[in-house]
Copies of this chain bind each other. A is one copy, B any other.
């Protein structure tokens, strides 16, 4: 078994944490921002230093490739994203980029024989924080999104100059479409990522062997009341849409809590009209995000939600789908190789599903793909408290390195 260099991993974590450091232990590093460009240049510099060829494609995805002994073989690619949410942490995405870099650096430094070319990647704008949607570039490359549509995406924060297309054009990182990841030049994709949840930590496992991404549906649920004056309308005359929404939320919990323990569902967003303390709310809409691995469970949950009472507290209740996605199953052979290498390296591990979406999910429709998770302290992510210890990160990179080399042998 091979091991990567723990100090080199530490150095990269510390270095990349500087790009967009927001002063409280985390970063704000929107894709293609000056902070993200600084991170890209560091990636480029370090990859050039080990003799990798660095190119970008038309979505500014970056590919750093070292040759293998057999020039005719397709590449094995590892990577993740280098952008963050606002006031995000130092691990989400970037740790997968660091793992990819470290794998190539170790192979070069240790002169490890390998047949396939090996590529380390940065996916552009995975978070979609400044320019929605999330997983934008893997979505374009893998045919999920229309390129012209995402180029027209307008920035949602003042940091944006205009559209994503304008940011891309002036970034200096827009390259040739022919450099895109494709099924001819690449034979496998591996993404290491932090778990962003508490399961590994709670189970005291070092490695998550990810077998896929759960399916989900996202609904908008609306209650319709009557806006009247808080001081003049007797209780018996009221149609209070917020009371009805509270009843609906409690009903959803009561129903879905009878489902298997590993279903997750979230009412994270609520809109109230007119949202004035002296007026009874007449319109409330809230989001409902439901996720589960088993399509049958998800279908049953959907059926349950569609059976929500037509009225709560005299307010009609309606719903509509915002979006949904089917589960994504990663390549069984690659999942098996991750498990085998974790075991042979002596790490504790568990097979698990990913709750969040990742670039690997779109890529899995194009290439044999899988993911490796490492623990997130207290399950926190998308916040400055996000933390994965150096030992945990190092273990993950060792699994990634050995898995890539195992794929190379096939």
Chain A residues engaging chain B, CB cutoff 8 angstroms: 195-199, 202, 214, 216, 218, 227-237, 240, 242-243, 245-247, 249-250, 253, 257, 261-270, 272, 275-281, 286-287, 289, 291, 322, 354-357, 379-383
**Residues of chain B contacted by A214 (CB below 8 angstroms):** 231
Query: Are B230 and A257 interface neighbours, CB within 8 A?
Result: no
**Residues of chain B contacted by A233 (CB below 8 angstroms):** 197-198, 264, 355, 379
Q: Which residue of B lies closest to A269 (CB)?
A: B277
**Identical subunits present:** 2
Given contacts A242-B267, A250-B246, contact A237 B272 (CB under 8 A): no
Pick 19 A–B contacts, CB within 8 A, sort by A. A198-B234, A227-B382, A228-B379, A228-B380, A229-B382, A230-B289, A230-B355, A231-B356, A231-B357, A232-B381, A235-B257, A243-B250, A246-B246, A250-B250, A266-B277, A268-B275, A269-B272, A270-B275, A277-B322
**Residues of chain B contacted by A195 (CB below 8 angstroms):** 232
**Residues of chain B contacted by A355 (CB below 8 angstroms):** 229-233
Task: Give bound CA distance, A272 to B284, whole Å.
Answer: 13
Task: Give bound CA distance, A277 to B250, whole Å.
Answer: 17
Task: Give bound CA distance, A73 to B62, whole Å.
Answer: 89
Q: Which residue of B lies closest to A288 (CB)?
A: B277
Q: Which residue of B lies closest to A227 (CB)?
A: B383
Query: Are B253 and A250 interface neighbours, CB within 8 A?
Result: no
Most chain B CB within 10 A, of A216, A227, A233, A247, is at A233
Other A-B contacts than A230-B289, A242-B268, 4 sampled, CB-CB below 8 A, are A197-B233, A197-B234, A199-B232, A232-B356
**Residues of chain B contacted by A228 (CB below 8 angstroms):** 197-198, 379-381
Option from B218, B230, B281, B380 in Cβ contact (under 8 Å) with A291 = B230
Option from B232, B247, B267, B322 in Cβ contact (under 8 Å) with A196 = B232
Query: Are A229 and B269 interface neighbours, CB within 8 A?
Result: no
Query: Are A230 and B264 interface neighbours, CB within 8 A?
Result: yes
**Residues of chain B contacted by A247 (CB below 8 angstroms):** 246, 250
Query: Are B279 and A268 interface neighbours, CB within 8 A?
Result: yes
Query: Are A272 and B275 interface neighbours, CB within 8 A?
Result: no
Most chain B CB within 10 A, of A229, A235, A242, is at A229
Most chain B CB within 10 A, of A264, A291, A357, is at A264
Shortest Cβ distance from residue A177 to the other chain B in the assembled complex, whole angstroms: 31
**Residues of chain B contacted by A266 (CB below 8 angstroms):** 230, 240, 277-280
Option from B261, B267, B356, B383 in Cβ contact (under 8 Å) with A234 = B261
**Residues of chain B contacted by A246 (CB below 8 angstroms):** 245-247, 249-250
Query: Are A231 and B291 interface neighbours, CB within 8 A?
Result: yes
Query: Are B268 and A280 interface neighbours, CB within 8 A?
Result: yes
Shortest Cβ distance from residue A98 to the other chain B in the assembled complex, whole angstroms: 21
**10 pairs of A and B residues whose beta carbons are closest in the complex:** A197-B232, A231-B355, A230-B266, A277-B287, A246-B246, A232-B355, A231-B356, A246-B249, A269-B277, A268-B277
Query: Are B229 and A196 interface neighbours, CB within 8 A?
Result: yes
Query: Are A276 and B267 interface neighbours, CB within 8 A?
Result: no
Most chain B CB within 10 A, of A234, A286, A380, is at A234
Query: Are B232 and A243 interface neighbours, CB within 8 A?
Result: no
Query: Are B243 and A268 interface neighbours, CB within 8 A?
Result: no
Option from B257, B279, B322 in Cβ contact (under 8 Å) with A382 = B279
**Residues of chain B contacted by A356 (CB below 8 angstroms):** 229, 231-232, 278
**Residues of chain B contacted by A227 (CB below 8 angstroms):** 382-383
Shortest Cβ distance from residue A268 to the other chain B in the assembled complex, whole angstroms: 5
**Residues of chain B contacted by A270 (CB below 8 angstroms):** 242, 270, 272, 275
